[in-house]
Amino acid sequence: MTSGNQPTVVIVPGFRDHMPEHWQSLLAERLQQQGRAVRIVPQIDHDKRLRRARVENLERVVSSISGPVILVGHSVGCLITVHWAQETQCAVQGVLLAAPADFDSPLPPGYAEPQTLADEGWTPIPRRPLKFPSIVVASRNDPLGKFERIRELAQAWGSRFVDAGEVGHLGPADGYGTWPLAEELVREL
């Protein structure tokens, strides 16, 4: 049973999509156990690397929900959310953006090249203020987003900024699994 007066929480995964051991998946399970309505943006098989396809997929999910939503993005999911936010008319109560990937800066070896990211529509990252409350969580040692650059993005988006310390990219390889701060921040939103 879900509470009718609480917004639906929409989980926006990154390129690797839904992973059962990821903190976003574990957060979704905990919230559902508490009676919250939760939707995870499903994986797409076509044009998976294109920003436009990912943004359209998020729009389909959110526009099918009656009432306000809270979005929880991680990594590329943050970028999907920020690009989507520039064009949506959906009712959004708030957004949690954890460990955004900074595609405007060179990425470590093994990741996409800047021209590929531009061709796929990911860059430049929008820098206009978001139309709803938002919280950006940054790691001091994230290989996909330097701390000061993520702080600059948070400021441009009008987001509250949270320093998570040295937590890598906040993924299972960094020990996250369960990430209690995520639930706290969702409650704040």
Give the span between the Cα atoms of 189 and 43, in whole angstroms.
25
Which pLDDT does position 4 carry in this prediction? Answer: 58
What is the pTM assigned to this prediction? 0.94
What is the C-alpha separation between 76 and 58, in angstroms, rounded?
13
pLDDT tens for the chain, residues 1 to 189: 345 579 999 999 988 767 888 999 999 999 999 999 999 999 888 888 899 999 999 999 999 999 999 999 999 999 999 999 999 999 899 999 999 999 999 999 988 899 999 999 999 999 999 999 999 999 999 999 999 999 999 999 999 999 999 999 998 888 888 899 999 999 999
Strand order in the sheet with 160-163: 38-40, 8-12, 69-74, 92-98, 134-138, 160-163
Quote the pLDDT of residue 2: 44
Going by C-beta distance under 8 Å and a sequence separation of 6 or more, which residues neighbour residue 107?
Answer: 101, 144
- pLDDT of the residue at 153: 98
Torsion over CA: 73, 51, 90, 2 (sign): negative
Nearest to 54 by CA among 115, 107, 101: 101
Q: CA 101 from chain center: how many Å?
A: 10
pLDDT for 46 equals: 80
Class level of CATH domain 8-188 = alpha beta
By CB atoms closer than 10 A (0-12, 13-18, 19+), residue 44 is middle
The predicted pLDDT at position 35 comes to 95
Tell me the two tokens of residue 142: 């994230």
